Structure 1
């Protein structure tokens, strides 16, 4: 019997959400067969089986958040070869050998051996000896993180039935108990969890300043593609004022100005906020940008977006005006130094000489990291952005 734990999926990610199991208990799998799909803060990843065998147990349900090193599956590689072995021999063998394991779940298969979990304390603050309760029907054991989480959330851990091996209480069991205790609460997962972490990081690390302006859309037609026009205008502004198409590292106090424009475009979905990246935006023509947006949006809806599509943005666009809103204070995501927000197009009455005229205007908001950009650089950028949007349409970018 071998325990298969969640491997390190890269990018320094410590946790993942189970999106879909592709196997059931009792199924026979082959090496490299996809057994589960998980979603990290970066993308969805198909996890293959590391060896062939029969699925004896799987841990976690779809929607659960699991950490690197946490047990996913128990696979019996030798099930076919050991089916003829007498039960007495198997029992004797199990008494003399302890299967090695690097996970908490693997360590609790034998309660008369070392258990790498925290004990539960009774009301008299006396430790419950796990050896003394090894023969009881359901000993109460929990992972250290689950016990700490229960204390933070005010959940009575003694009333929780663990979903892990031998009724081990896991973090997800505590969250479920808390959800039942206070209806309407939910554990943030996937992109929502990642958004919460990124916003906390930004609020703590970035010296953000927002500047606003509006573009007068004299030359726009009724069927003009707003997002495509914004992408083209951002690309143009980045070449005129490159200071905002940059990364900033506060620890080394270094700034990297990018020649290539990689635009992160915020996409709202039922799963949360995603920001796929249009790499080398300067190489796309108008129709190419629209095809990329449609194709990427479909990938997000099906939760099949690749990891590389969410990486290496040099500047970000949030077109929140497609839903509602005029001006905003968008949040910069480090190491980027700027984000552009586009509001709802609206009518505005203006004076042209002695005449009163109604025109369409597009509200714009740019938040920038004042540690890496000066106010002058930000003002020049938004001026270039406005000039590009106000100019007559001319799609001269090659595909």
Structure 2
């Protein structure tokens, strides 16, 4: 083997971004020695050497995108050269925006491939862009068939002079942007909002686990919202298991690990499982399969906000959270507030939990959504 190419990473993933090289040209490596760390749609993957030998060349720099079957390294003393020629080419993350096949929180059956066309640009225009310090990614060509023109480059330079260079999205944020675009284009979303009176809750209640159990209860009362919908075939699949995708906010972007079999697990087991998932997300060791196959999603955004010195700050009451196909519903939970309520014709101060339920109106009626939300509130208030 002369060229070692990026192997199949599984889960339908077609590309990865180079995070760190662990070797340099001229290094002698052993079998299974770590060569490079790459980032897929959601996970950091360590790629080992398939053979012993001396590295003559490393393809791609940190931040570059590499696709399955494209070369990673070249060995200069390989005994068996079975590669023939280099397959494909390395594309910089700064010069491409091809789509990932991994959709945040999606079921395996919904993985999609939507390759975007590369910028149409002549060598002269590319040289002009280089001379003016203009990056070609993000430029929409105004010439024939979308070709980038000199005027496009000059306009981009003027924007850079006024506003500074744009920064391409990478890794998780890039995947999130694509997933949200798909969600916006494909789903007919409607949102219902209401509040649950949680005055009876202990002061240190596990809000997220309480919400998960309430969602599982509501899914039994109204199964249509715990389902996958195929918009092309106009068919839906009602699911008897409740696997909740829980949105986790990180500096790198949004992760949605899946907490499975909610209806069959006790609170302590769910908390342990959720803590483990969040730790894996924080360390970027969570495998892609742990972020696929959710049947419904929870965004507990009311717990995200902190003020100075870790003082809680309430920010965010209601929302219209995005539904990622093939799922048909997502629950948003805002910050708990003390509010005036009327109980037995008297005004009292109670803690209230604001809730937002977004649902896909293509396959869910308003009545079904209202009954689901009512069952969710009833369980939280029980």
- TM tier, smaller: 0.7 to 0.9
* Alignment partner, residue 321 of structure 2: 330
Within 5 Å, which residues of 2 pair with 1:144-163?
Answer: 148=120, 156-159=128-131
Which residue of structure 2 lines up, in the alignment, with residue 22 of structure 1? 22
3-state SS of the aligned residue for 2:200?
A: coil
Match of 2:89 among 104, 112, 115: 104
Q: Which residue of 2 is the match for residue 352 of structure 1?
A: 343
Other structure's SS at 1:25 match: coil
1:156 is paired with a residue whose SS is helix
Show CA shifts across 1:118-153 (max 9, x none): xxxxxxxxxxxxxxxxxxxxxxxxxxx8763799x9
* Cα distance in 2, alignment partners of residues 17 and 100 from structure 1: 22
CA apart distance, 1:22: 2.6
C-alpha spacing 1:329/1:313, structure 2 compared with 1 (3 Å): same
Distance 1:387 1:34, change over 3 A: same
Q: Which of 1 and 2 has higher RCO (CA within 8 Å, sep 6+)? A: 2
* Whole-angstrom distance in 2 between the partners of 1:149 and 1:299: 42
Given that 1:244 and 1:368 are in contact with CA atoms closer than 8 Å, whether structure 2 keeps it comes out as yes
The alpha-carbon deviation at position 102 of structure 1 amounts to 1.8
Would the alpha carbon gap of residues 155 and 312 (structure 1) be closer, same or farther in structure 2, given more than 3 Å must change? farther
Q: Is the 8 A contact 2:191 2:357 kept in 1?
A: yes
Structure 2 match to 1:62: 62
2:332–2:357 contact (8 Å) kept in structure 1: yes
Unpaired runs of at least 5, structure 2 = 91-116, 139-155, 306-314
**Partner-residue secondary structure (3-state), 2:120:** helix
Instruction: Report the number of matched residues.
Output: 323
Mapping 1:142-181, distance limit 5 Å? 148=120, 156-159=128-131
Alignment of 1:173-252 (within 5 A): 183=164, 185-252=166-233
What displacement does 1:157 show?
4.1
Q: Judge conservation of contact 1:213–1:365 (CA < 8 Å) in 2.
A: yes
| 8 A Cα contact 1:5 1:103, kept in partner | no
**Which of 259, 262, 267 is the equivalent residue of 2:248?**
267
TM-score (normalizing by structure 2)? 0.77
- Contact 1:147–1:157 (Cα < 8 Å) also in 2: no
Shift of 1:180: 8.1
Residue 389 of structure 1 corresponds to which residue in structure 2?
Answer: 380
Could you say which residue in structure 1 is the equivalent of 2:333? Answer: 342
Aligned partners of 1:155, 1:282: CA distance in 2, in Å?
Answer: 60
* SS of corresponding position for 2:19: strand
Find the aligned partners of 2:128 and 2:67 in 1 and give their Cα distance.
Answer: 23
Structure 1: segments with no counterpart, 5+ residues = 82-97, 106-144, 162-168, 392-399
Task: For residues 277-297 of structure 1, give each alpha carbon's deviation from its aligned partner in whole angstroms, at most 9, with x where no partner exists.
Answer: 011122321112222222222
How far has the Cα of 1:353 moved from its partner? 2.6
How many Å separate the matches in 1 of 2:136 and 2:345?
73
Larger Rg: 1
Aligned match of 1:310? 291
Q: CA RMSD in A?
A: 3.1
Gap change, CA 1:157 and 1:12, over 3 Å in 2:
farther
Task: Label 1:356 to 1:321 Cα distance change in 2 as closer, same or farther (>3 A).
Answer: same
1:298 aligned to which of 256, 279, 303: 279
TM-score by length of 1: 0.73
Post-superposition offset of 1:320: 0.7
**How far did residue 99 of structure 1 move?**
5.0
8 Å CA contact 1:52, 1:77 repeated in 2: no
Structure 1 residues 230, 211: CA separation in 2 closer, same or farther (over 3 Å shift)? same
Shift of 1:268: 0.5
Q: Distance in 2 between matches of 1:23 and 1:12?
A: 27
State how far apart, in whole Å, the 2-side matches of 1:221 and 1:155 are: 66
* 1-structure distance, mates of 2:359, 2:342: 32
Q: Contact (CA 8 Å) 1:44, 1:307: kept in 2 or not?
A: no
Which secondary structure state, in structure 1, belongs to the residue aligned with residue 57 of structure 2?
strand
Q: Classify 1:15/1:221 alpha carbon distance in 2 versus 1 (closer, same or farther; 3 Å).
A: same
